[in-house]
Amino acid sequence: MATTTTLKVNNVGQTFTTNTGQRVEALRNVTLDIPPGQIMTLVGPSGCGKSTLLKIIAGFFPPSHGTVSVLDSPAASPRRTGSNADLGSGSQFHREPKATMSPTEHIITEPGPDRGVVFQQPTLFPWLSVRDNVQLASEFAKDTELHDAQRNKATQLLDLVGLSNAAERYPHELSGGMQQRAQIARVLASMPKTVLMDEPFSALDPFTREQLQAELLRIWHQDQPTIIFVTHSVEEAILLGHRVIVMAANPGRILADVHAEHIAIEHLDDRESITATGKAATSRGYPAHQQSSAASFPQPFEPEAPLNGN
């Protein structure tokens, strides 16, 4: 049965102890509800806990206090109205979930196949070709149907990110931008419900970074997974996010929760407009307790044609 997944971050805090015994509070009282299909960007200065929060959501380590949980709700299925005699004529479909269906919630304590992580540096296996790297998840599929679905998805993604012609190359034969494309394709080929991205474009040159930003939006439009994207760039956060979480340091906490309804960007190359809008939006911000409806986030800009190159 199909389900929709909501991530719930409930009063999460994280404290680390240094080698000298000093206690460092990396996160304090972070609470977020992240609906399915939303692109949420986390932006803030170094040391504000963005990556720490992402790793907790990934299940790499537990928070010092609070919880991160996944709420799975059954998706409504089409059902016919009217009697059997009407099925061939005037019957209509409508979505009507069964009354007995209820959401199930479980606490995240470890990594899982429902969450995929794209790191800052590519993590491709050097002894595998690009195709084999992207198809890797299918090798561990538990049934034939999932295996075939992931193989087909891998083939689609290789084409979507412009790597079909480089599919038989090895990672050392690729540019940095191509390696990052392959890493993104590999994560998405496993068909996770949530994609966690930890500054994946920060090490790339500006031209390649802009290309990959556009490709990420194009990929999102295909399956619309939930994406949590960590960045230092206000421009990038505004460009990609339906929702921008602005964080502050010492301790890491949410400063503002900005929804992008008021942001209109006509062209991806209008960088001055994007930056000015982003700075204005985050400077006026919205307190976290005044979040607008999660159902009202807008669709991001969709490029008209694939971008080729590195």
List per-residue pLDDT tens for the chain, 310 residues long: 456 778 999 999 999 998 988 999 999 999 999 999 999 999 999 889 999 999 999 999 999 999 999 988 776 544 444 444 444 444 444 445 554 557 788 899 999 989 999 998 889 999 999 999 999 888 887 888 888 888 888 888 898 888 989 999 999 999 988 999 899 999 998 889 999 999 998 888 888 888 888 888 888 888 889 999 999 998 899 889 999 999 999 999 999 999 875 444 444 445 555 555 555 554 544 433 333 333 333 333 333 334 444 4
Q: Tell how far CA 141 is from the center of its chain.
A: 22
pLDDT of residue 75: 60
Using CB atoms within 10 Å of the CB of residue 286, give its burial: 0 to 12 exposed, 13 to 18 middle, 19+ buried.
middle
For tokens 């985050």, the residue is: 282
Q: How far apart are CA 3 and CA 247, in angstroms?
A: 31
| Identity of residue 79 | R
Listed in sequence order, the DSSP H helices in the chain are 50-58, 130-134, 144-160, 176-189, 206-223, 234-240, 271-284
Pairing of strands 104-107, 115-118: unpaired
Residue 280's pLDDT is 55
With tokens 């509070």, the residue in question is 25
Distance of CA 263 to the CA centre of its chain: 20
pLDDT value of residue 121: 87
**Predicted local distance difference test score (pLDDT) of residue 6:** 86
Spatial CA neighbour of 31 closest among 196, 245, 250, 297 = 245
CA distances from 153 to 68, 140, 147, 219 (A): 29, 15, 10, 11
Q: How far is CA 100 from CA 70, 74, 96, 97, 285, in A?
A: 20, 10, 12, 8, 41
**Region at 251 (left for phi over 0; alpha for psi -120 to 50; beta for the rest):** beta
User: What pLDDT shows up at residue 71?
Assistant: 85
CB 198 within 8 A of CB 119: yes
Q: What's residue 301's pLDDT?
A: 36
Q: How far is residue 299's CA from residue 38's CA, in Å, rounded to a whole number? A: 9
User: Mind spelling out the 3-state secondary structure of 16-37?
Assistant: EECCCCCEEEEEEEEEEEECCC
Q: Which helix (H) or strand (E) holds 3?
A: strand 3-17
